């Protein structure tokens, strides 16, 4: 148990975000280990050090006690949790898009552990809830930060501390508020100007501030700045200080300008001419008419004071100078009343520190014909307008304003009734509009025109109101890809999905069901994952193509379709596929592959023209023909025309083997698996509704592209087949065989009455369930005493079984047989009434045994009454022949060894007839002599064989010394064969080889007389091969 509870070595980093969890888990494992090991207190520290890494041991190296070491480690790894912040995290926790309900609930439970909830009263619970809301809603981040420094904080203490901090902030701002005069001069700018002038005269080092020198000899090269803590420069030249100073000066200047603006606003001769009284939601306010502002604004303090609801809005307002800007805090919808004019639901942007309550801009002023502001100056009125209006005749279509200005000086001398004949902006009459409309209609084809379209498809994109998205036709081949119908199509689909796996979220989880799919049609879960991956690939399509990255076109063609894909950096852009016509299917494969490239470049011309891209094909010949670097002559006119058509593109073509071109190959073979179900249904009807087996055999004989799954689906859904050949409900049959070893369970039954001369008119059949080994015992009657006598004889030979099963015969139901079996510890069972199938195994063997007996009687020409004479042979054949249910013979399964019969064993075919065989040579002069020699096989029995040697001598040998010779004609040359009629007179002779031959024969055979002639035969003998170069007498 100690080995199971032994923890691993602890070496967690204390700065890791999971350090507390790792330490708490390891600490619990270590406590369980020492509790099981029952260690002494003085040994616990030693064991603890043994399980700590060297970096963790440094923290407790000075500890002398185990409890002190644990306390130090707890303080290092378990950081104190702020209860208020923990409850804030729990209250603001939202469910993520990738989280399920169970995962979200579990994360809430984990966050709740750090909130230290306690059993409190309702008032305490109310105070804690108000405290959390109070800290969460404070606008000052500094006050919230100081409050969160307290581990335990009550509502009263939080309020008191917040008041003190707020008062301290306000008093601190009073100390730092600048007191500037109107004649304030910014000295920082002068300092910077003087510094820049001095720097222009004498250059300084940027890093140390001294005279210019090489960087390698700079004294500040290894120095660390005190302002920014960066290495390489002194603090006196640090630019961070200047930035802070400039920000401070900008803040001072802006505050000074704001003060001046406020002072000016209160002056009687400044902005007071454009200040009017307005009502905002029936609340009186000061409004400033801003004739140069495009929008209207409202002060932030006014909104907060009157508690007007603010809606979120982000933006920046630029003032007269681009350097001065302010950020919006949102907008409000109010009812505005201005000198008797009411404006409902006016949107006013919220600005902080506005010089007035409401600033009225052009969005409200443009609703009036004009705005008059009286200044009382001595000069004539100043009219500000974008276009001068002149007086025209009263019969115009649009009404003119009531005032008419003086005509320009250029037309002073013209008569008052003079009319212009051509103007830049013309007011058309009704006749003009009709004429223009008729002329436009003549120029346009009405059948090709579409008006008031909400969506426009252009150059692979779909343009709608304020949005541009990829054209759905680019993804149509992918979204219409059907589920795989067989293993080959599934393999192609898996290859395509793996190609885009890095763009699919949780790809390994979604592809799991598809990889394990072994049967077709696929399960519903596999089809759902298939569709989900397709949608993920479609969602990963690039909407905006980068001009810096190269495009890749992959093409492929099959016997049924063309396909191509367009991608960039592995991400898909568009898919293309189309089926081939009947004429195109007869074209050569090279033309199909080339046509796939041409069709793809035609379709994506707007993407590819003017860009360098890569073209990938799995046909090496096409990659050579379309290579722009090759100028060899092509004899195919069609290929030449296609090559000229592609000359306007700039591409590099690359050959890729078909097994690696997975994506395009998948789409090109879609048509091969998408078959017309109507065609298969018509075939089924025309063939008079055959079954699955005959229909599939006919489909395969005609080489039609339908699978066995398609046929099963069709036949099961055919209404005519369901009516004429109904498939009634069939209860699932149980398995009768329950035995796990021989002679464990026996089935018994009687066969008879049978005519017999000996008076044995019945057969007691006993079958072993495990091995199907049968026993058939002739009996005179059906009494229980006969059954007990037969079983006793059987038990004395094979032992006691564990279980006996029978039908409900009187002999098997008797108390005498039941007592006999129970005293020997044998359990019994019986079939239900009128259910012979319950004892089906022995019932079947009754028929098998009797059929075998009848066949044996018929073969021997005996009468039926003489069946006892052949019962032993019938049982022998049944026990020795193969049982297809167990794939072995009953004897082998019952006794676990082959059964030997009087007919002997089976011999191989090369021993079944006379011929040449090899025999083992037991006596050899050396180990380099052949191991066997060739002899003639004369006669064979199951153990021995009679063979004849080359010299005519015959001998009995064991079968284990014989071996087949094989086919010599496979290795012999025609010139090597020796004709027995050929003499040896023409063979060149020498004396030395002859002597050597005689010596060799004498050494091997012991005598040379055996070579002179046969001892028992007078047949002519051919010369051995190894003597063909010698002369013999």
* 613 and 761 share one domain: no
- Which range, 140-149, 493-502, 816-825, 1004-1013, is most confident? 816-825
Which pLDDT tens digit goes with each residue over 652-688?
998 888 777 777 777 666 544 444 567 888 888 888 8
Percent of the chain with pLDDT over 70: 76
pLDDT at 837 over 60: yes
Per-residue pLDDT band at 389 (split at 50, 70, 90): very low
CATH label of the domain that carries residue 927: 2.30.30.140
- Look at residue 469 in the predicted model and tell me its pLDDT: 73
Helix axes 83-92, 101-112, angle to 10 degrees: 170
Exposure letters 929-954 (e unless 16+ CB within 10 A, then b)? eeeeeebebeebeeeebebbeeebee
pLDDT at 57 over 60: yes
Whole-angstrom CA distances from 315 to 301, 312, 329 are: 19, 10, 8
* 585 and 663 share one domain: yes
764 falls within a domain: yes
Mean pLDDT in residue range 1016-1024: 64
* 597 and 709 share one domain: no
Residue where one domain finishes, among candidates 175, 205, 229: 175
Which pLDDT tens digit goes with each residue over 855-898?
888 888 888 898 999 999 889 888 888 888 888 888 888 887 55
Which pLDDT tens digit goes with each residue over 427-450?
667 777 788 877 777 777 777 777
Decide which of 788 and 728 is more confident: 788
DSSP assignment of 855-912 equals: HHHHHHT--GGGGGGTHHHHHHHHHHSPBTTTTB-HHHHHHSSPPP-TT--PPPGGGS
CATH label of the domain that carries residue 513: 3.30.420.10
- Which range, 165-174, 209-218, 812-821, is most confident? 812-821
CB 936 within 8 A of CB 948: yes
- Look at residue 670 in the predicted model and tell me its pLDDT: 57
CB 755 within 8 A of CB 863: no
Cβ neighbours of residue 866 closer than 8 Å, sequence gap 6 or more: 757, 857
Which pLDDT tens digit goes with each residue over 628-650?
777 767 778 888 888 888 888 98
Compute the mean pLDDT over every residue in the chain, rounded to the nearest whole number. Answer: 76
What predicted TM-score, i.e. pTM, was given to this entire model? 0.28
Count of alpha carbons within 13 Å of 67, Cβ hemisphere only?
Answer: 2
Decide which of 592 and 441 is more confident: 592
Which pLDDT tens digit goes with each residue over 354-376?
888 898 888 888 888 888 877 77
* 760 and 834 share one domain: yes
Cβ neighbours of residue 136 closer than 8 Å, sequence gap 6 or more: 88, 91
* 604 and 501 share one domain: yes
Helix axes 19-37, 66-77, angle to 10 degrees: 160
- Look at residue 494 in the predicted model and tell me its pLDDT: 83
Query: In terms of Cα–Cα distance, which of 500, 548, 504, 495 is closest to 529?
Result: 504
- Look at residue 392 in the predicted model and tell me its pLDDT: 40
- Look at residue 380 in the predicted model and tell me its pLDDT: 72
- Look at residue 267 in the predicted model and tell me its pLDDT: 35
Per-residue pLDDT band at 522 (split at 50, 70, 90): confident
Cis peptide before 753 (omega within 30 of 0): yes
pLDDT at 775 over 90: yes
Which pLDDT tens digit goes with each residue over 94-127?
777 777 777 767 776 777 777 767 666 777 767 7
224 falls within a domain: no
pLDDT at 173 over 50: yes
Question: Structural domain of residue 341, as residue ranges?
Answer: 268-365
* 665 and 754 share one domain: no
- Look at residue 773 in the predicted model and tell me its pLDDT: 92
* 993 and 953 share one domain: no
Residue where one domain finishes, among candidates 966, 991, 1008: 966
Decide which of 233 and 540 is more confident: 233
- Look at residue 34 in the predicted model and tell me its pLDDT: 81
387 falls within a domain: no
Distance CA 543, CA 564 (A): 18
Which pLDDT tens digit goes with each residue over 245-282?
544 444 444 433 333 333 333 434 457 778 888 889 88
Distance CA 842, CA 740 (A): 18
608 falls within a domain: yes
254 falls within a domain: no
Residue where one domain finishes, among candidates 175, 209, 225: 175
pLDDT at 973 over 60: no
* 612 and 698 share one domain: no
Query: In terms of Cα–Cα distance, which of 245, 244, 255 is closest to 324?
Result: 255
* 809 and 927 share one domain: no
* 483 and 570 share one domain: yes
Decide which of 201 and 771 is more confident: 771
* 338 and 351 share one domain: yes
- Look at residue 948 in the predicted model and tell me its pLDDT: 94
pLDDT at 394 over 50: no
Tell me, rounded to whole angstroms, the distance of Cα 659 from its chain centroid: 20
- Look at residue 65 in the predicted model and tell me its pLDDT: 82
* 52 and 128 share one domain: no
10 Å Cβ neighbour count for 209? 13
983 falls within a domain: yes
When divided into structural domains, the chain yields a total of 8
pLDDT at 836 over 70: yes
Cβ neighbours of residue 736 closer than 8 Å, sequence gap 6 or more: 769, 840, 841
Exposure letters 633-651 (e unless 16+ CB within 10 A, then b)? eeeeeebeebbeebeebeb
Decide which of 1010 and 647 is more confident: 647
- Look at residue 715 in the predicted model and tell me its pLDDT: 86
Mean pLDDT in residue range 168-197: 52
């Amino acid at each position: 148990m100690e080995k199971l509870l032994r923890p691993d070595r602890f070496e967690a980093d204390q700065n890791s975000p999971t350090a507390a969890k790792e330490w708490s888990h390891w600490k619990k494992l270590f406590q369980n280990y020492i509790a099981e090991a029952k260690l002494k207190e003085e040994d616990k520290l030693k064991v603890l050090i043994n399980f700590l890494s060297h970096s963790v041991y440094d923290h407790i190296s000075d500890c002398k006690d185990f409890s002190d070491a644990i306390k130090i480690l707890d303080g290092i790894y378990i950081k104190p949790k702020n209860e208020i912040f923990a409850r804030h995290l729990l209250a603001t926790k939202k469910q993520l898009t990738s989280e399920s309900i169970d995962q979200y609930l579990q994360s809430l439970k984990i966050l709740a552990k750090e909130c230290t909830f306690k059993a409190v009263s309702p008032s305490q619970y109310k105070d804690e809830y108000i405290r959390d809301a109070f800290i969460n809603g404070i606008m000052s981040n500094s006050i919230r930060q100081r409050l969160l420094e307290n581990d335990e904080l009550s509502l009263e203490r939080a309020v008191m501390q917040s008041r003190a901090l707020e008062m301290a902030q306000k008093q601190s701002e009073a100390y730092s508020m600048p007191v500037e005069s109107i004649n304030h001069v910014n000295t920082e700018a002068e300092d910077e100007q003087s510094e820049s002038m001095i720097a222009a005269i004498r250059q300084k080092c940027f890093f140390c501030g001294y005279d210019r020198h090489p960087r390698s000899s700079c004294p500040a090269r290894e120095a660390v700045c005190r302002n920014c803590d960066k290495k390489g420069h002194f603090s006196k030249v640090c630019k961070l200080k200047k930035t802070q100073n400039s920000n401070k000066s900008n803040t001072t200047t802006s505050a000074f300008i704001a003060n001046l603006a406020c002072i000016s606003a209160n002056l009687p001769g400044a902005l007071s001419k454009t200040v009017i009284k307005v009502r905002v939601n029936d609340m009186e306010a000061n409004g400033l008419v801003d004739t140069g502002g495009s929008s209207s604004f409202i002060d932030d303090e006014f909104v907060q004071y009157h508690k007007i609801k603010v809606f979120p809005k982000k933006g920046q307002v630029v003032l007269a100078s681009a350097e001065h800007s302010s950020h919006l805090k949102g907008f409000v919808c109010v009812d505005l009343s201005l000198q008797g004019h009411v404006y409902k639901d006016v949107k006013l942007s919220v600005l902080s520190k506005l010089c007035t309550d409401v600033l009225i801009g052009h969005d409200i002023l443009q609703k009036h014909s004009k705005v008059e502001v009286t200044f009382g100056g001595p000069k004539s009125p100043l009219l500000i307008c974008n276009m001068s209006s002149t007086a025209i005749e009263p019969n115009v279509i649009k009404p003119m304003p009531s005032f008419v200005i003086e005509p320009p000086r250029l037309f002073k001398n013209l008569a008052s009734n003079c009319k212009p004949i051509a103007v830049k902006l013309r007011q058309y009459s009704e006749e003009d509009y009709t004429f223009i409309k008729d002329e436009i209609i003549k120029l346009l084809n009405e059948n090709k025109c579409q008006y008031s379209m909400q969506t426009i498809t252009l150059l692979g994109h779909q343009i709608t109101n304020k949005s541009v998205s990829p054209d759905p036709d680019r993804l149509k081949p992918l979204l219409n890809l059907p589920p795989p119908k067989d293993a080959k199509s599934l393999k192609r689909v898996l290859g395509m999905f793996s190609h885009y796996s890095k763009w699919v979220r949780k790809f390994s989880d979604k592809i799991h069901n598809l990889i394990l799919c072994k049967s077709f049609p696929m399960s519903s879960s596999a089809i759902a994952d298939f569709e989900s991956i397709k949608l993920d690939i479609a969602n990963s399509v690039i909407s905006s193509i980068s001009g810096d990255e190269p495009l890749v076109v992959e093409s492929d063609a099959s016997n049924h379709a063309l396909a191509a894909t367009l991608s960039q950096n592995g991400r898909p852009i568009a898919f293309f596929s189309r089926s081939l016509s009947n004429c195109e299917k007869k074209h050569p494969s090279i033309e199909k592959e080339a046509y796939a490239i041409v069709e793809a470049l035609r379709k994506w011309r707007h993407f590819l023209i003017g860009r360098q891209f890569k073209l990938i094909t799995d046909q090496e010949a096409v990659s050579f023909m379309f290579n722009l670097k090759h100028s060899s002559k092509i004899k195919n006119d069609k290929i030449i025309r296609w090559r000229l058509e592609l000359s306007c593109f700039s591409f590099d073509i690359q050959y890729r083997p078909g097994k690696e071109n997975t994506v395009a190959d998948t789409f090109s073979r879609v048509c091969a698996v998408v078959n017309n179900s109507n065609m298969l249904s018509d075939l089924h009807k025309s063939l008079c509704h055959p079954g699955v087996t005959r229909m599939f055999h006919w489909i395969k004989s005609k080489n039609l592209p339908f699978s066995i799954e398609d046929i099963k689906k069709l036949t099961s859904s055919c209404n005519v087949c369901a009516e004429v050949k109904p498939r009634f409900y069939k209860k699932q049959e149980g398995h009768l065989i329950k035995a796990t070893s021989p002679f464990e369970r026996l089935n018994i039954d009687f066969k008879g009455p049978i005519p017999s001369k000996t008076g044995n008119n019945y057969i007691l059949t006993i079958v072993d369930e495990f091995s199907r080994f049968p026993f058939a015992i002739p009996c005179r009657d059906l009494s229980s005493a006969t059954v007990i006598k037969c079983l006793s004889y059987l038990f004395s030979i094979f032992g006691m079984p564990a279980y006996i099963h029978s039908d409900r015969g009187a002999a098997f139901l008797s108390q005498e047989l039941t007592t006999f079996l129970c005293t020997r510890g044998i359990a019994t069972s019986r079939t239900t009434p009128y259910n012979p199938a319950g004892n089906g195994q022995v019932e079947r063997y009754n028929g098998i045994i009797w059929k075998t007996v009848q066949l044996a009687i018929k073969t021997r020409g005996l009468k039926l009454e003489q069946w006892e004479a052949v019962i032993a042979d019938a049982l022998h054949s049944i026990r020795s022949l193969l049982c297809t249910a167990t794939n072995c013979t009953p004897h082998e399964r019952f006794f676990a060894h082959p059964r030997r019969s009087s007919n002997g064993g089976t011999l191989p075919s090369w021993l079944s007839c006379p011929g040449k065989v090899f025999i083992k040579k037991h006596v050899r002069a050396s180990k380099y002599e052949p191991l066997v020699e060739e002899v003639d096989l004369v006669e064979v029995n199951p153990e021995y064989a009679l063979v004849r040697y080359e010299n005519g001598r015959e001998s009995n040998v064991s079968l284990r010394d014989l071996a087949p010779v094989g086919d010599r004609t496979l290795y012999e040359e025609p010139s090597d064969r020796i004709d027995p009629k050929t003499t040896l007179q023409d063979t060149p002779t020498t004396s030395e080889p002859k002597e050597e031959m005689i010596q060799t024969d004498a050494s091997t055979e012991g005598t040379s007389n055996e070579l002179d002639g046969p001892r028992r035969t007078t047949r002519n003998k051919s010369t051995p091969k190894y003597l063909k170069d010698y002369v013999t007498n």
